[in-house]
Amino acid sequence: MDSITVNKGQILQRKGDLNTKVYLVESGLLRSYTIDEKGREHIFMFAPKGWIVADNLSADEPADLFIDVLEEAVLVVKEKQIESEPHLQKMVNRLGVLQKRVIMLMSASAIERYEHFVNTYPDIVQRVPQRMIASYLGITPEALSKVKSEWLANR
């Protein structure tokens, strides 16, 4: 198992990168984060010794996250493989969904979260009461009702 040493400040992965790797931290400290459209940084995860850092996305999607080095670190680098085992593939999928959800909760406004939800799960929107969608988005039903009507007014 070959490992590499990386220096503080080094950037291991950028948003949009393809062929991203999986990093197992043997020592030191990494972090993964996004930068949103307004230029704000949102840390997704700190990775001390023993943690794994990677985009929780399948190997063929471009990265959502930046990964950089907070403290000089020793890493084991692994290739991502397209997951063949269906059970494992489902787990990778779930991780991806949750990663997107966390980023959404940290960086998007109520209306942006709503639009994203409608685009991602158009069928669910039809099937559950609006208050449940609000609950999923982390806002109150009143707030959802309000932002939706404001959104309609501005167009």
Instruction: Using CB under 8 A, list all residues that contact a copy of itself.
Output: 29, 31, 33, 41-43, 45-46, 48, 52, 56, 70-71, 88, 90-92, 94-95, 98-99, 101-102, 105-106, 121, 123-124, 127-128, 132, 135-136, 138
One-letter amino acid of 38: K
Tell me whether residue 20 or residue 28 sits nearer to DNA (CB atom).
28
Per the CB < 8 A criterion, the answer to whether 22 and 65 are in contact is no
Structure tokens at 12: 């291991």
Binding mask 9-38 for DNA (x = CB under 7 A): -----------------------------x
Long-range contacts at 91-94 (CB < 8 A, ≥ 24 apart): 92/56, 92/57, 92/58, 93/58
SS3 11: strand
- What does the H/E/C string look like for 74-106? EEEEEECCCCCCHHHHHHHHHHHHHHHHHHHHH
- For residue 143, state whether it binds DNA (rule: CB under 7 A): yes
**Chosen from a copy of itself, DNA, none, partner binding at 52 (C-beta under 5 to 8 Å by type):** a copy of itself
Instruction: Using CB under 7 A, pick the residue from 109, 118, 124, 151 that binds DNA.
Output: 109
**Chosen from a copy of itself, DNA, none, partner binding at 98 (C-beta under 5 to 8 Å by type):** a copy of itself
Instruction: Using CB under 7 A, pick the residue from 149, 151, 154, 155 that binds DNA.
Output: 149
